[in-house]
Structure 1
C-alpha cells in the first residue's frame, strides 16, 4: 500500500462515501474533500466535513498508519493544528490536539471496495513489466485514451517551452537566435545534435545574419566553426571555403574551441554532417526571415514548401571533401522535415504564442495530427500492446506518457491508470 493511493482515494471519493464513520463510530459527511496540497503541510487544505452533528472546516492529513503522525513529528508542528480529520489505512493509535481532544480518524480499510483494491494490486505489484498496465493497456477505452494523449501532447509542449525559455534568457530574448540553435541541434540528429548545438552557440546570430546573403559564405562559416575545414585537401571548393572562413574568423573574432567534434561513423551518407550543414546553410540562404515565415505559416503543406531545401551544388557530387560521388540532388526528405516540425517549429510556435498571451493549441494540434507518427522503441512497444500511434501527436504523447508517468510509477495521475483501477 502506498500513501499516494490513499490521497487518490480521498481526492476522487473512491470510497463508500455515504457510509463513512470515524474510528469512534461518528458519521462523516464529506461536503468538500479540500484542495490537494503537493507542498509541505497537511495533505488537503480547506475541507468541509460534518462529523457527528458538528460542521468542521479545516485540513485533512493522510497516513498509512495513525502512528505515522508521531513518526513525522506533526504534534510539534503548528501547520497541523487545524487538522479536522486524520485519514489512514490502519488506525493503530489515537492522535490528540494541543488541548488534548482526539482528532477524529477515518480508517479506510473497510470503506474501499475489493475490486478497487484488487485492481490497484494488479497494477502496481506484478514484477517484470515494461509498464505497470502492460497486460491491460489494450483494453483501455479509446475515448479516454485519445483525450489523455491530447493532454499529454500539450504537456510535452509545456515541457519543451521551459527549454526554449532557457535559450531565450541566454539569447537575450532573440527568437531568431533560438530558432537557429534549435534547428542546428535537430539537423544534427542524435549523433551530431550536441555538436551542431555547440556550433550554433559559438556564432552570434548577427554574424549569421550578415553572412546569409551568400550561400558559400554561410557554408564557410558553418564548416569552419565545426572544424570540418581542418583536414588537408586539394579540392578547390574546400580551399575557397578555408580562405573565406579565415577572413570571417578574423573579421568577427570567431572562436570554436568549445565546439564539439562532428562524427561520420555509423551514419548513412545522407546524414553526414557535411550534408546536413550544407542544407542548414541553404535554408538560411533561401529564407532571409525564417522566423517570421514560420510564424505566418499555419498549414502543413506550406511548411513542407518552406523546408524543401537541398545542398549547394558541390555536395550534389560529394558526401565528404575528399571523395567524389555519384550525382544526386540531396533535398530534405519529408520524414526529416517532420522531425524539424515536431521538435523545433511547433514547440517554438507554441512557446511564442504563450508569451504573447495567445492560445493556438487547436492550430498546433491540427498540424501535429497531420504529421506521420514517429518510429522508435517506445512507440513500437506501445503499438505492440495496442495500435495507438497514428500521428506525431500520438507519438509525442506516448513518449511523454512513458517518461513522465510510466517510468515514475505515476499511474494514479494517469487517465489510463485511473480507469483501470476503478473499472
Structure 2
C-alpha cells in the first residue's frame, strides 16, 4: 500500500512525531507554536501556522508532500499563492525546492521522526475488509474518548438534517409552519415512502387543510385524493365511496391536481406500514393540529410530545383494513411505540434543533439533544453489529451518533477524520 498525503496531514495536525531536536534540512531548529488550520480547499495544506525557525517567529502556511520533489511536480514553484509557505513538511527529502520568487523553502523531513507503529496501524485500517475498518480494535478505545466522539457526531448528524430543513424553509418563503408540515410528512414515509409523502404535502398546502379542519371526512378525502388513491376506481365500501365524492368537490373548489398513485410503494413493507395506513395517521395528526410547528416547539417535556401522537382520531375503517375494499383481521390503527419514537428522533428533534440554530437560542438546541437522550436507542442491523463489537447504544443520542459514524466515516474509510481512528492510530500500547 503506497503512502498517502492524508496520513502525513494527520501526523502534522496532531504532531505525531518526535519533536526532540526538531530542525530543518538546513539545520535550523524548529518550534511549533501552532500547526495551522487544515485546509481542504485549493492552496497550501495548513493555513495560519505559527513557527519559530532558526530563532525567528514566522506566521504563514505549511505545505505537505510525500517527497520534497513533489513541490516542483505540482508546479508550486510557479505559483505565487505558495510564496507564503514558511515550512515544507515531507516524508522523504530528495531535493531542495524554491518558491516562485526564487527563495529557498525550509524543509522538515518526517521519515526518521514518525513512530514505527503509526504507519502500520494506518495501513491496517485502510486495507482491512471488515464491516468497519476498526472492527478488530474498536473495543480498545477508552470509553471517555468514545463518548466525546459520539457527542460530536450527534451534533454533526443534526447539522446534516437541518440543511435539508433550511432548504425546505427557503422554498416555503420562511414559513416554519409550512416547512414543519412538509418535514413531518416526509418523516411519516419512514424511508420507503418519504419522497412520496413529501410530494403529497407539497401538493396539499396546510392552508387548504385548515379550511376543512372541522370535517374529518374532508381532510381525509383531501389526503387520499391528492395521493392519487381515489382516481378512476369503483369502490364497493361506503367509506372510500364517501371519500371519492368529497374529494371530487374539494378538487374543483381548490383547483387541486392529484399525484400518480404509482408513486407509492407497498412492496416490501409490513401491512402496518402501508402508505394507506400512514396517510390515515398523518391526516389524523393534521386534524389534531393544523399548526404542527407551534405544537412541537411549544412543548418542553417528552411525555406530552409523545402524547401528541397517541390516540389520533383515525377513521375506524382502518381497524379492519390496510387497503381500500380489502378487509383484514382486526388490528390497531394507531402509531406503535417504536414508530412514535422514530418520529420523535427523526422529525421532532430535528425541527427543534433547526429552529434553535436559526434564531440563535441554545435552549431549543439543548431541548433537542435532551429529547434524544431520553429516548431508547433504535433497533436495526447496524446497531446490532456495533453491539456485537462491544459498542452498545442505550439511548437514541448514541444510536444516532453511531449511524452517523457508520455512514460518513466507516463506509468511506475516513479513519483519519474519525475520533475512533485518531485514538487507534495514536494509541501507545
TM bucket (normalised to shorter chain) is: over 0.9
- Which of 351, 356, 359 does residue 359 from structure 2 map onto? 356
Deviations 1:285-317 (A, max 9, x none): 122432211111122211111111342122223
- The match for 1:300 is 302
Instruction: Find the aligned partners of 1:268 and 1:58 in 2 and give their Cα distance.
Output: 60
Tell me the secondary structure at the aligned position of residue 13 of structure 1. Answer: coil
Instruction: Find the aligned partners of 1:176 and 1:72 in 2 and give their Cα distance.
Output: 52
What is the CA distance between 1:137 and its match in structure 2?
0.8
What is the CA distance between 1:25 and its match in structure 2?
2.5
Structure 2 unmatched runs, 5+: none
Tell me the secondary structure at the aligned position of residue 45 of structure 1. Answer: strand
What is the CA distance between 1:408 and its match in structure 2?
2.0
- The match for 1:368 is 372
Query: When the two structures are aligned, how many residues end up with a matched partner?
Result: 422
Structure 1 unmatched runs, 5+: none
Instruction: Find the aligned partners of 2:337 and 2:426 in 1 and give their Cα distance.
Output: 43
Pair 43,191 (structure 1): closer, same or farther in 2 beyond 3 Å: closer
- The match for 1:14 is 16
Kept after mapping to 1: 8 A contact 2:30/2:54: yes
What is the CA distance between 1:334 and its match in structure 2?
1.0
Length-normalised TM-score, structure 1: 0.95
Instruction: Find the aligned partners of 1:151 and 1:99 in 2 and give their Cα distance.
Output: 43
Kept after mapping to 1: 8 A contact 2:78/2:100: no
Cα RMSD, aligned residues only: 1.8
Kept after mapping to 2: 8 A contact 1:279/1:309: no
Pair 270,5 (structure 1): closer, same or farther in 2 beyond 3 Å: same
Q: How does 1:30-179 map to 2 (within 5 A)?
A: 30-98=32-100, 100-125=102-127, 127-179=128-180
Instruction: Find the aligned partners of 1:170 and 1:393 in 2 and give their Cα distance.
Output: 29
What is the CA distance between 1:258 and its match in structure 2?
5.8
Instruction: Find the aligned partners of 1:335 and 1:347 in 2 and give their Cα distance.
Output: 17
Kept after mapping to 2: 8 A contact 1:282/1:309: no
Deviations 1:173-217 (A, max 9, x none): 222222222222222223322222211111122112212221111
What is the CA distance between 1:21 and its match in structure 2?
1.8
- The match for 2:339 is 336
Kept after mapping to 1: 8 A contact 2:83/2:101: no
Deviations 1:61-82 (A, max 9, x none): 1111111111111111111112
Tell me the secondary structure at the aligned position of residue 144 of structure 2. Answer: helix
Q: How does 1:202-241 map to 2 (within 5 A)?
A: 202-230=203-231, 231-241=233-243
Pair 325,84 (structure 1): closer, same or farther in 2 beyond 3 Å: closer
Instruction: Find the aligned partners of 1:47 and 1:105 in 2 and give their Cα distance.
Output: 15
Kept after mapping to 2: 8 A contact 1:27/1:52: yes
Deviations 1:121-152 (A, max 9, x none): 32223x31222111101121111111111110
Tell me the secondary structure at the aligned position of residue 386 of structure 2. Answer: helix
Kept after mapping to 1: 8 A contact 2:157/2:404: yes
